[in-house]
């Protein structure tokens, strides 16, 4: 019989706070993390704002010398992982480290280090390029450095599926535990893409909002005036365990990971498939695998990027799966506040789903002033809502046609 998988700890570093609690409080207050870019001079860029992690000091978690040898996305991952381990009360040592794995997704990896060292190459020559560049930039180094920092020797790798990377890391980690390949996996996503080349490239493909007159209002999922996403950074990490292992050690059980669905569009490099059919299949897969009736779902954390195509097609997908129940459940896009942290998005949003189960509050979709006519569901507009939800769903989509759905539930219907 397959193992049941539960969540026992969460760590987060986001544009809304340097830990889970402060990020959650900002979400419920409807606070936007978008502001003018401080990480570099963006005055000549079409988009001059982003959702940055402010005030982050890696030496809170990592020795200063080691921190200098990590890209910013790795620093975020280590910080979030250490928070999650502490939250779960998980002790790691010689007796259990072989049973504990790390799977952390990233869509872009160490683009900050890569862009900085390109400048060194061009200005100072090849001999001055850092010997640490490769281990700073490769996407698997978040999981690698986390395992080193905490001593986990189980399965260890990275998932890369663009903006579905963090969700896929959690989904794949859950499958490892179900089949008994690990007892615990530290799983999530991390990203730090706010660099000149990153912003310029997304601007060139017309993916980013250019609402430079009002950055906090730029991310407006499902609103008729949306004009692109707000690039963001951050990380979130969950501690996943087999139910048996969590009960044996008396761990706090926050929620159960009921199932995971993943599909491919085979359609276009950036656009979702027509009618959101790939997302439809991913949602149905997750529901079917868990044996959950669609009417049991009370809340969906939407991918909801604030781009014209995504929001409309995701709405169509939800209507296709849920039928009349689509109008009875709540669905919000927290990217309206966090911005879009690419490969970290699915992990951050999974964490938010678990907090909704735990605390009985649904975060809002802010800046929703004039919904597009085709976007006519309950997006929890502008204010958080108190509501008990027992089954929640999180959608993540990625360039390349990736669709990932995570389904979480209250354990046995109890707190």
The residues assigned a catalytic role are 163, 303, 340
Instruction: Using alpha carbons, list the distances in angstroms from residue 101 to 92, 144, 151.
Output: 11, 10, 10
Q: Diameter of the chain by CA atoms?
A: 64
Query: Do 386 and 283 form a contact (C-beta atoms < 8 A)?
Result: no
Tell me the three state secondary structure of residue 250. Answer: coil
Q: Among all chains, which residue has been given the structure tokens 């039928």?
A: 323
The distance from CA 10 to its chain's CA centroid, rounded to whole angstroms, is 12
Q: Which two tokens stand for residue 161?
A: 């599926």
Mind spelling out the 3-state secondary structure of 49-105? EEECCCCCCHHHCCCHHHHCCCCHHHHHHHHHHHHHHHHHCCCCCCCCHHHEEEEEE
Query: Do 238 and 350 form a contact (C-beta atoms < 8 A)?
Result: yes
Is the sign of the CA dihedral 53, 55, 60, 65 positive or negative?
positive
**Left, alpha or beta for 353 (phi > 0: left; psi -120 to 50: alpha)?**
alpha
Is the sign of the CA dihedral 326, 296, 294, 332 positive or negative?
positive
Q: Work out the burial of residue 413: count CB atoms within 10 Å of its CB; fewer than 13 is exposed, 13-18 middle, 19 or more buried.
A: exposed
What are φ and ψ of residue 51, in 5° steps?
-105, 95
DSSP letter for each residue of 357-386 = HHH-EE--BTT-SSB-TT--SB--BSS-EE
Q: Which two tokens stand for residue 260?
A: 């995971």
What are φ and ψ of residue 260, in 5° steps?
-150, 130
Q: How far apart are CA 238 and CA 9, in angstroms?
A: 6
């Amino acid at each position: 019989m397959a193992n049941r998988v539960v969540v026992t700890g969460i760590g987060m570093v986001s544009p809304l706070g340097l830990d889970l609690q402060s990020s959650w409080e900002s979400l419920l207050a409807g606070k936007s993390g978008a502001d003018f870019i401080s990480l570099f001079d963006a005055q000549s860029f079409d988009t001059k704002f982003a959702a940055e992690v402010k005030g982050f000091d890696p030496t809170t978690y990592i020795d200063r010398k080691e921190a200098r040898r990590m890209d910013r996305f790795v620093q975020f991952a280590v910080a979030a992982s250490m928070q999650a381990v502490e939250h779960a009360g998980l002790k790691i040592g010689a007796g259990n480290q072989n049973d504990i794995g790390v799977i952390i997704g990233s869509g872009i990896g160490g683009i900050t280090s890569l862009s900085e060292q390109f400048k060194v190459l061009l200005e100072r020559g090849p001999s001055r390029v850092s010997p640490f560049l490769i281990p700073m930039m490769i996407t698997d180094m978040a999981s690698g450095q986390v395992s080193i920092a905490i001593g986990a020797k189980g399965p260890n790798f990275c998932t890369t599926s663009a903006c579905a990377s963090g969700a896929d890391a959690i989904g794949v980690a859950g499958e490892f535990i179900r089949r008994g390949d690990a007892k615990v996996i530290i799983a999530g996503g991390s990203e730090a893409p706010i660099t000149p080349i990153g912003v310029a490239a997304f601007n060139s493909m017309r993916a980013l909002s250019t609402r430079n007159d009002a950055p906090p209002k730029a991310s407006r999922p499902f609103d008729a005036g949306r004009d692109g996403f707000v690039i963001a950074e951050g990380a979130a990490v969950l501690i996943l365990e087999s139910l048996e292992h969590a009960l044996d050690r008396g761990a706090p059980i926050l929620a159960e990971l009921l199932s995971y669905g993943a599909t491919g569009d085979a359609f276009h490099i950036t656009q979702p498939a027509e009618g959101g059919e790939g997302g439809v299949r991913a949602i149905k897969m997750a529901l079917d695998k868990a044996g959950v009736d669609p009417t049991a779902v009370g809340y969906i954390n939407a991918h909801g990027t604030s781009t014209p195509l995504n929001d409309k097609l995701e709405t169509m997908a939800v209507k296709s799966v849920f039928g009349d129940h689509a109008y009875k459940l709540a669905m919000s896009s927290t990217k309206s506040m966090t911005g879009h942290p690419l490969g970290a998005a699915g992990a951050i949003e999974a964490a938010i789903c678990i907090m909704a189960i735990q605390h009985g509050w649904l975060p809002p979709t802010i800046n929703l002033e004039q919904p597009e006519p085709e976007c006519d569901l309950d997006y929890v507009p502008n204010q958080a809502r108190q509501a008990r939800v027992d089954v929640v769903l999180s959608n993540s989509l990625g360039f390349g046609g990736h669709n990932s759905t995570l389904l979480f539930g209250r354990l046995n219907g109890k707190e």
